[in-house]
Amino acid sequence: GDTGAQYRFLLPGPVWTDADQAQVFTLLAATARPGGIAVISGSQPPGVPPDFPARLAAALPDTLLVLDTSGATLTEAVSQPIPGLAVLRMDSDEAESLSGHPLPDPKATADFASALVAQGTAATVLIARGAEGNVLATATQRLIASPPKVQMQSAVGAGDSFVAALVLAMAHRQDWPEALTLATAAAAAAVMTPATELCRAEDVARLVPQVSVTSI
């Protein structure tokens, strides 16, 4: 309508039985390649335990694992860290829920992300603050990438576009400032497209120079 409000229909999928879950591990055993990058993204289907990402990680040896989830699964990944988790991504609301207090500015978000890294949750923690940008923390770096101002059509797919571009940069062995720049540009490009459409390569390329990455 004229309000610009968005409606998202997030319906649960079918219940995954033990047999369904076993099929996933069979598939991973047949297809996983050491040295690759694996992404666990989105909410989990009914029937899957909160520690399912940890089980997936154990079945993917010598793999860089990127986890972008929410709810009980995210809480589990923080309370019971997944050994060797390379990247954990969340949004600011999820970070505030986990921390138990408001994160009013990027510095507070960076402090929380650094604390997660220090406690062994993941080697790199990313927290999205919407139009304010994306915060990244490792053991040695704290960065924020400020996105360019764009005309928003739909926020659907921004996070997925961010993760896809981040993984592409990781695969090309780009450093974190470069990877964060590309990912932030991809997320900004995604909000320019309608409905569930993801980012367009030409928009990403045009927006990359407009992303500002600074230490925080």
- Active-site positions? 160
Position 208, amino acid: V
- 18, with CB counted inside 10 A (0-12, 13-18, 19+), is exposed
What is the chain's alpha carbon radius of gyration, rounded to the nearest angstrom? 17
Position 85, amino acid: L
Angle at 52 between CA 51 and CA 58, to 5 degrees: 95
Nearest-10 Cα torsion for 16, 17, 20, 21: 80
Distance, in Å, from the CA atom of 92 to the CA atom of 14, rounded to the nearest integer, reads 29
Angle between helices 106-118 and 92-99 (to 10 degrees): 60
